[in-house]
Structures are given as C-alpha cells and as structure tokens.
Copies of this chain bind each other. A is one copy, B any other.
Amino acid sequence: MDDLIKKLSQAEVFEKFTHREREELTRLATRRVLKKGSILCWQGDPWPHVLYIESGLLKAVIGSPDGGIYVVSTWEDGVGFWGHTLFDDDGMPSTIEAVEDTIVYQWQGNEILEFAIRNSDVTLALLRRWTRLIRKRKESIYNLVFSPVAGRLAKLIIDKFIDEKSPTVQRDLTLEDMASMIASSPEVICRILYQFQDSGFLHVDRATITLRDRQGLENLLQQG
C-alpha cells in the first residue's frame, strides 16, 4: 500500500493531494484485477468511480447499433481515470475494456470528489486534465474530418514509434484493431501498409514493422 501512495504522488491530479489526503485515499482504494477482455463499464451505464491504473492497458470504445466499433482512447498504467458519471450523473459515453490483464485501484467516486473539491490545487488539476481531454477529442475530430485514411494510419504508426528506441516493433495490433482506431477496415489498412512500404516509409512483414523514413510519414500528416 505504501507503494500505492508513492505512485499516486507521481500521477496527474493525484499528485496535487496532500500527503495526508493520499494516505486516506490509499485506505479507501479497492484493488481490482481485470482479466484481458473484461469490461469495466458499459457505454450508457452510470459509473461514478475513479480509477488508478497500476499496470496494464484499458481502452474506451464506442459502438454503433450495427456492430461497428471505434476506439476513442486508451489508458495506460500510471494514469487516473475519472468517470464522467461522477460529474453529471449521466451514463458513460463509452465502454471501458481491458486490452490486457490490468490491475487498477478503484474508488467510490463521490468519496474522492469530496476531497478533490476542497483542495483547490486538485480542482485546478482536474479542470486542466479535463481540458486536455477536450483537446484530444478535438484532435480526433480534426483527423477524421481532414485526414484521409492514409494520413490517420500514418499518425497511428508514428505514435506507435514514439519513445521507441528500436526502429522495429512487433505488430501487436491486428489489422482489425487498427481499423477500429482510425475508423477504417482491415483490408484497407493492409493495403496502405504495403503502400507505405512501396513508398519506402516502412518495411512490413507479417510479424513486424520497421520504420524506414519517419519524415516521409510525417509529411503525410501535414498535407492531410
């Protein structure tokens, strides 16, 4: 548990609590282990909670009635997740699913919100965090509106290689996974991947992707 205190003191928003408050928070936390593929909450259901992700990976997904899905965002270890329900009593806008086995600490949201509101540093950090989320969503909108599929894929790949020392990465996402992240279809993504290879940007094989010309990819983003 001391471990958790330490981690919280380095996490956005949580870091702004006083040490004492963090101690209290640690006491109130419930540790949960989420199996890969399990659902934390469903789109539309209320979920007035707060989460700290100790390890693993979550994704927020919106689905259409006829089965299409789109991955709005992913949440990595070391970050907090505040349920929308907490702030406006409405259902969650997306389904949250564990991409891999994930360990989280969960709070009853109103308990922690109580703390947060009393501490203006925390409040400001929360507002700041929320603002950044809005920016992210607007960026998604920008990409959907102005970038063709190739541009969106280029961006996805570049992001993949951020803080990656080696120019080669394992293909840990299936084509379908990628499709659901950039609103396209697996076949199209496959083709564009090899198109990128033909352009000399990447080397692609079944298991790996090797970055050959980052600048080339980045140019695709600019011109949309």
Give the residue among A88, A93, A131 with the most B Cβ atoms within 10 A. Answer: A131
Kindly state the separation between the CA atoms of A183 and B133 in the bound complex, as whole angstroms.
Answer: 22
Kindly state the separation between the CA atoms of A93 and B224 in the bound complex, as whole angstroms.
Answer: 18
Q: B224, A127: Cβ atoms under 8 Å?
A: no
The oligomer's copy count stands at 2
Among residues of B, the one whose C-beta sits closest to the C-beta of A133 is B134
Kindly state the separation between the CA atoms of A4 and B140 in the bound complex, as whole angstroms.
Answer: 37
Least distance between A128 CB and chain B CB atoms (Å):
5
Q: B87, A128: Cβ atoms under 8 Å?
A: yes
Q: B146, A84: Cβ atoms under 8 Å?
A: no
Answer whether A135 and B84 are a contact pair too, CB < 8 Å, given A120-B118, A144-B145: yes
Segment touching B, from A59-67, A187-195, A196-204: A59-67
Q: A141, B84: Cβ atoms under 8 Å?
A: no
Answer whether A93 and B127 are a contact pair too, CB < 8 Å, given A62-B141, A146-B64: no
Bitwise, A15-52 to B at CB < 8 A (1) or not (0) is 00000000000000000000000000000000000000
Q: A141, B72: Cβ atoms under 8 Å?
A: yes
Answer whether A224 and B141 are a contact pair too, CB < 8 Å, given A88-B128, A134-B84: no
Q: A65, B224: Cβ atoms under 8 Å?
A: yes
Answer whether A117 and B126 are a contact pair too, CB < 8 Å, given A62-B138, A62-B141, A64-B224: no
Among residues of B, the one whose C-beta sits closest to the C-beta of A126 is B127
Least distance between A149 CB and chain B CB atoms (Å):
12
Please, which residues of chain B bring their CB within 8 A of the CB of A138?
A: 62, 72, 93-94, 137
Q: B68, A145: Cβ atoms under 8 Å?
A: yes
- Residue from the list B66, B131, B134, B223 in contact with A66, Cβ < 8 A: B223
Q: Is A130 an interface residue (CB 8 A)?
A: yes
